[in-house]
Amino acid sequence: MKNDTQKKVRITDTTLRDAHQSLWATRMRTDDILQIAETIDGAGYYSLECWGGATFDVCMRFLRENPWERLRQIKAVCKKTPLQMLLRGQNILGYKHYPDDIVERFVALACENGMNIFRVFDALNDPRNLEKAIASVKKYGGHAQGTISYTTSPVHTVESYVKLAKEQESMGIDSLAIKDMAGILTPGAARELVGALVKALPEMPIQIHSHMTSGMAAAMYLAAVESGAGCVDCAISTMSSFSSQPPCESIVAILESEGYTTGLDQAKLAEINAYFQKLKKTRQPASTAKVEPVDAGVLVHAIPGGMISNLRSQLAQQGALDRLPEVLAELPKTRADMGYPPLVTPTSQIVGVQSVLNVLSGKRYSMVTDETKHYAAGYYGRTPAPIEKKLAKKLQGGLKPITCRPADLLKPGLAAAAREIPPKLIQGEEDILSYCLFPEVALGYFKWRAQPDDAKDPIPADVEMQKVESAATPAPAIDAETAKFAEIGKAFAALMAACGGTKVDLTSVKIQGTTAQENTTSTPAEKPAAAAQPTGTPVVAPLNGTFYRSAGPGKPEMAKDGDAVKSGAPVCIVEAMKLFNPIKATASGKITFLAQHGAAVTKGETLAVIA
């Protein structure tokens, strides 16, 4: 259907946030962004999505960067184009609800540091979880974009989505986004939904967000625009498709062929694309480089783009990447059990990790994360469909279910958080907010930042890259002559040792990248006696992750050395896949811990013994 009125369709660029979160496990550095930011700012985009989502956590955890400084530096360069972020409503950028005072202050500081447009969503489409964030954005002068987290299920209908949109309109939103995080919105369904929204809210600007996971998003965008949507999300072509957004250049061509205008500078788009093509060689993880361009399975499992790459990464960390097909088969069953939540952070993480645990443990729901317990008890909001009563009770694990707005139960948290951080580590109020969202991660980053440059541990993302490069570099082959002289050397060393001469340890001698194993009659050096390990029933790590004795900084240890514990009682935590997994006592008795608080542990490692 040709548009003869030259209507302008606006385009939001997602390259600096969602695109690299979907394709590069969020590993783009601030310096990477700043080198091309001025060109992007001049390309004619409606807005630049550059903050929020997983970028905040990853900046501190893996890149050792200050996410607030990233925002300030981008704003200093991008003076023409509004900056946009993804805000998880009452979850802000984390995986749980935060008190109202933290939500409001976070939004206020984001506005102060340069953020313009806030796309506010709730993973359960519970409007109660949007109220405070939207009100705060309006209060501090930002553009509040409401959101429909799109999914399909027996309980998700066009009528229910229109009702949700009207509820957000009453909160004062400036525009509305349809967030198709899994790429499952078909062109026909888009026409029906956008058409209904335009009819019900004729003055409300509508924006469409999708992923190319299923291959449908480009066709769906055109259908949505023809039905009244005025803005779409795209990524520069080399950072597009797969589980990212549709390619900007292609969408521009499609829209212009139908008589629409976008106002984008094609020459600048080409320059931007060339830059990211070059950067891709050093930033794209090897695991995502082998992903199929289209995953039709998403039409069944409905996993959003960023979650797919995270699932691969998380399973690889557990040494279980080969079990991905089992997890993808389990996920729709777990989602149905849990009331058909849309799979968007944090519910995608909660349902995804629970599915992983259901597969790896060998018995469904034998391991339940703290987040799953709170979800089932209503602490994330109303589930779209009720959870079956018997299963809900099992998942809740003794937690008392609630029906009120979850944040109503939370005490103000800013002042308490500020007291928990050593003053010498705080460089600004923004640090307190970072700590509120990710206490352990933020403290680790603050301590790293405070070290002299020559005393700092390597940046985790750099270590990741070096491991990949080392694994990809084969050891040089040993030629026949070198091998011959190596054997002569070992024989000579053995002869010297037999005659009472100096013993030579050849076990660590490197010959062109290969360790030469000692094959002599010399007496091996005596090893120091190993320290005696406490005996008892072991408590082992069920997953690779980080070991904690307490539920968070400033909180008491779940059990102390020598405490009498009861079988089945939680005694410690292993944080894996960004969620906290309570580890229960395997017997009754006195517990002795072997693992150190904050240490990395591997699956099967003994964390403690109970005697």
What is the residue whose two structure tokens read 């968007």?
A: 344
Tell me, what's the pLDDT at 268? 98
Residue 430 falls within a domain, yes or no? no
> Residue 432 burial (CB < 10 Å; 0-12/13-18/19+)?
buried
CA dihedral 507, 511, 512, 517 (to 10 degrees): -40
Helix (H) or strand (E) run with residue 70 in it: helix 67-77
491 pLDDT above the threshold of 70: no
Does the residue 2 lie in any domain? no
* Cα angle 113, 240, 64; round to 5: 40
d(CA 245, CA 210): 6
Residue 486 has pLDDT above 90, yes or no: no
Residue 270, pLDDT score: 98
Does residue 174 belong to any structural domain of this protein? yes
Note whether 224 and 182 are same-domain residues: yes
pLDDT digits (tens, 9 = 90+) for 282-333: 998 876 666 778 888 788 767 765 677 677 777 887 888 899 889 988 989 9
* Residue 152 lies inside a defined structural domain of this protein: yes
pLDDT of residue 296: 82
Torsion angles phi and psi, residue 510, rounded to 5: -100, 125
**Mean pLDDT (whole number) for 58-67:** 97
Question: Does 4 reside within a domain?
Answer: no
Same domain, 352 and 247: no
Q: What confidence tier does 4 reach under pLDDT thresholds 50, 70, 90?
A: low
Conformational region of residue 14, where left means phi above 0, alpha means psi within -120 to 50, and beta covers everything else:
alpha
Report CA torsion sign: 273, 279, 283, 287.
positive
pLDDT reported for residue 529: 54
CA distance 122 to 605: 37
Pair (90, 175) in one structural domain: yes
Q: Tokens in use for 122?
A: 């709730």
The answer to whether residues 250 and 318 belong to one domain is no
Structure-model confidence comparison of residues 595 and 580, the more confident one: 595
CATH of the domain at 36: 3.20.20.70
More reliable by pLDDT, 304 or 19: 19
Average pLDDT over residues 260-288: 93
**Residue 133: pLDDT above 90?**
yes
Mean pLDDT of 267-291: 89
- 41 and 99 share one domain: yes
Residue at 569 is within a domain: yes
**Residues 366 and 276 reside in one and the same domain:** no
- In a domain? residue 467: no
Would you state the pLDDT for residue 521? 42
Among 38-52, 99-113, 238-252, 455-469, the range scoring the smallest mean pLDDT is: 455-469
pLDDT at 50: 98
Contact 534, 611 (CB under 8 A): yes
Is position 439 within any domain? no
What angle (nearest 5°) sits at the alpha carbon of residue 43, between those of residues 263 and 68?
130
Residue 295: the pLDDT is 82
Give backbone dihedrals phi and psi of 241, rounded to 5 degrees, phi first: 65, -165
Query: Residues in the chain, how many?
Result: 611
- CATH number of the domain to which 358 belongs: 1.10.472.90
Q: What's the angle, vertex CA 117, arms to CA 115 and CA 123, rounded to 5? A: 110
Predicted pLDDT at 77 = 98
| One domain, residues 17 and 62 | yes
Higher pLDDT, 36 or 361: 36
AA identity, residue 304: P
Cβ-based neighbours of 4, under 8 Å, separated by 6 or more: 259
198 and 128 co-located in one domain: yes
Q: Which of 281, 306, 331 corresponds to the end of one domain?
A: 281
CATH number at residue 586: 2.40.50.100
* pLDDT tens digits, 382-434: 999 999 999 999 999 999 999 999 999 999 999 999 999 999 999 999 999 99
Mark whether 321 and 208 lie in a shared domain: no
Both structure tokens of 531: 């320290």
Query: Among residues 347, 382, 403, which one ends one of the domains?
Result: 403
Rounded distance, CA 247 to CA 212, Å? Answer: 9
User: Range of 558's domain?
Assistant: 537-610
Confidence label for 83 from pLDDT (cuts 50, 70 and 90)? very high
Shared domain check, 276 and 302: no
Quote the CA–CA distance of 84 and 144 in Å, as a whole number: 10
Out of 247, 281, 315, a domain closes at 281
Same domain, 102 and 222: yes
312 and 272 part of one domain: no
- Residue range 156-182: average pLDDT? 97
User: What pLDDT is recorded for position 593?
Assistant: 95
When divided into structural domains, the chain yields a total of 3
Task: Kindly indicate the confidence band of residue 468, based on its pLDDT and cuts at 50, 70 and 90.
Answer: low
| Least confident piece of the model among 7-16, 313-322, 343-352 | 313-322
Per-residue confidence at 523, pLDDT binned at 50, 70, 90? Answer: very low
Averaged pLDDT for residues 433-438:
97
**Per-residue model confidence (pLDDT) at position 508:** 46
Ranges 159-168, 361-370, 546-555: which has the least confidence: 546-555
Q: What pLDDT does residue 292 have? A: 78
Tell me how far apart the alpha carbons of residues 354 and 164 are, in angstroms, rounded to a whole number. Answer: 28
Mean pLDDT of 571-596: 89
